[in-house]
Chain A
Amino acid sequence: MTLKNIVLIGGPETGKTNYLARLWAALGEGDGILRAPKTPENIKYVEEALEFLLGGQFAPRTDNALDADGSGLEISVCTDDGDDSTTVELVVPDVNGEMWRGAVENLELSSKWLDALGSASGVLIFLRAHSPLNVSPLDWVVAKDLLSAGAGGAEQQVGLPTQVVACELVRILEFARRQAKNAAKLRLAILISAWDLLDEEASDSGPEEFVNAQFPLLAGRLRDLSGIEVEYFGVSVVGGDLRQDEEFRKSFHQLPLNKRGYVAYKAAGRIEMSPDLTLPVAWVVGVGLQDA
């Protein structure tokens, strides 16, 4: 059986844990292109996260101290054609987003995670649509004032813009693969979580266009990669906002979880919407989107 290490990368509250929980639910239901023929040994972590979704809540922010074995999902999956030769062992550890932010801001990353990036079979980078934690690029007025202040003047004390953090995460990924001397082609999925928050026009334009418009530095960077294949997905794990949308929250239990949520992606030049939450991982492990 082939082992596939998948790494989830993203800052705090970008949706990694909720997606992992929803992925687990989708694999278990067996409705998607990827399915799990048997239940894995240790499902404590994903079950705890899934409990929240089943109860009509998003899983809370991942524990700061989380970086222990067992935090994540290890599961055998296969494609729905049932061919044994397509069974892969997925290992998807979860980690607090602060770790990735620390990697960018302080260049601190444990050898465990550097090795994980270097040997990864696939990577998912998470960005959250319209997150209050997203930091915009500097605007012209503020930049001009800062320059005019000159030496001794105050500097702007805000975090790095989200697109700069994302570019740096890509740089760290490339560094890890060079260190590991890993020349195998890598599939990198860009997941835009909370896709349901977008207006119709933005949603219809698709996730790649969303990145082009909202994160132009990252968009340019992703077009310049060598040895890395990129695909874009818009993801809504439950199809609505369980925090801010009270009506949606009240009606949530009218449908089972496996009828909730969707993935937006581009195939054959069109933006498609699929209820199959396993799609991003399926693509990352080698399934073509045209097979979805």
Chain B
Amino acid sequence: MTGMKCASPECTVEQTGVCLLGNPAGQCQNLVEQEVLRSPLSVGAPVLPAPQAHSGIPPSLALGSTEASELMAARYCRVIGVIGVPNSGKTAALVSLYLKLSNDQLEDYSFADSRSLIAFEEISRGARRWTGNLPEQLTQHTKLAEERTAGFLHLRLRDGYDGQAFDFLMPDLPGEWTNSLIDENRTDRLGFLRSADAICLVIDGRQLLEFESRNRAMHRGKLLIRRVSDFLGKDKVPLFLVITRRDIGIPDAEIISGLSAEAAAKGFEVSVVHLASFSDSDVVTPGEGICDLIRGLRTSPAVTEAAYWPDSPRRSQDRSFFNYRNRG
């Protein structure tokens, strides 16, 4: 709402209605528009209710690197590097794992906790997809966002046999990052692989099964193994070749052994897991292979820590003081 005010400080037309220069009301050239409050009595009072302060409750989405680090400081988490080109089946594997847990169908393990439970739920419902605007880096802080963010999915499981709980952190990344790794050796955003306890290299089993595509798929698979090997250098961690689409078949042994041999030649300890995240078959149940993969990831040796007080080689000594060593 606007009103008129006189630019001349001596004029009291606002209060009295009488122009200092004697002009009729509203016709003085010194009049200017100004904002008028609805009620003079409410000057200074808020016109809108104050927005409710955000509760500060952290979202239950993909963890940023900061939150992931905080979690790892609080408890031991196995970081599982999951990589694979687009449509290799990474998302399907995550969804399958989540559905198994939601329906208590994961044979040897049960759900204990997840700091990114809503992320799992939304990825399963198709609410979060990798769209045109792909993230360029891992997100630093967990944030509320409409689009899927590149971050860590947290899952805590409990072993049904020994009752022990264990934590996984699995980066949720677009497949294009793997293509960039293969084609451009882009490793700047894959630093977490060097901290991983194991790496899952997800390969589309359908591509390896089909005659027309298997040579290319094998070639790309080997390239990926070499890229990861070069990036890790001497510090190799267990590598799991996760071959998806188990429900339509298992690729020829020659294909699988070719990939395994490539990985072994690069110094990896290799395991192969055939996975059917979903199933179009009557004989293969959805989620087949998930339990084996979890077992393998849980029991794969972690990075060996350097011995705290390593033995030094015994020196020959003339002094008898040193001769007490290694006496029974």
Contacts and interface: CB of A to CB of B under 8 A. Distances in A.
Contacts of A179: 56
Nearest to B58: A175
Interface stretch (B65-73, B96-104, B258-266, B303-311): B96-104
B112 A138 contact: no
B125 interface: yes
A145 B51 CA distance: 40
B88 to A, nearest CB: 13
B113 to A, nearest CB: 5
B118 A168 contact: yes
B54 A107 contact: yes
B59 interface: yes
Contacts of A151: 129-131
B126 A164 contact: no
B92 A147 contact: yes
Given A150-B129, A151-B131, A220 B110 contact: yes
Nearest to B101: A217
A114 B55 contact: yes
Which of A103, A144, A153: most chain B Cβ within 10 A? Answer: A144
B92 A217 contact: no
A161 B121 contact: yes
Contacts of A175: 57-58
B127 interface: yes
Instruction: Give the interface centre of B55, B110, B115, B286 by most chain A CB atoms within 10 Å.
Output: B55
Contacts of B115: 171
A220 B102 contact: no
B165 A224 contact: yes
A109 B54 CA distance: 8
Category for how many chain B residues contact A: 35 or more
Contact of B60 (A108, A110, A150, A168): A168
A18 interface: no
Decide if the interface of chain A is mainly helix, strand, loop or mixed: helix
B102 A216 contact: yes
A112 B126 CA distance: 35
Interface in A149-164: 149-156, 158, 160-161, 163-164
Contacts of B231: none
A146 B91 CA distance: 11
A156 to B, nearest CB: 4
A155 B158 contact: no
Contacts of B59: 107
Interface string A124-144: 000000000000011010011
A221 B131 contact: no
Given A216-B102, A216-B103, A156 B126 contact: yes
Interface centre among A114, A213, A224 (most CB of B within 10 A): A224
A140 B99 contact: yes
A54 interface: no
B291 interface: no
B111 A155 contact: no
B185 interface: no
Interface residues of A, number: 42
B112 A223 contact: yes
Interface string B104-143: 1000001111110110010011110111000000000000
A140 B279 CA distance: 9
B32 to A, nearest CB: 44
A27 interface: no
A111 interface: yes
B101 A140 contact: no
B54 A224 contact: no
Interface string A159-186: 0110110011001100100010000000
A137 B278 contact: no
B99 A137 contact: yes
Interface of B: 52-60, 91-92, 95, 99, 101-104, 110-115, 117-118, 121, 124-127, 129-131, 144, 156, 158, 165, 278, 286
Nearest 4 pairs between A and B by C-beta? Answer: A216-B104, A137-B102, A146-B126, A220-B111
Given A147-B278, A156-B126, 16 more contacts: A107-B59, A137-B99, A138-B121, A143-B124, A144-B286, A146-B126, A150-B129, A152-B129, A153-B129, A160-B118, A161-B102, A163-B102, A168-B117, A175-B57, A216-B102, A220-B110
21 contacts: A107-B55, A108-B52, A108-B55, A138-B99, A138-B124, A146-B125, A146-B126, A147-B92, A151-B129, A153-B129, A154-B126, A155-B127, A161-B121, A167-B117, A168-B118, A179-B56, A216-B104, A217-B117, A220-B101, A220-B113, A224-B156
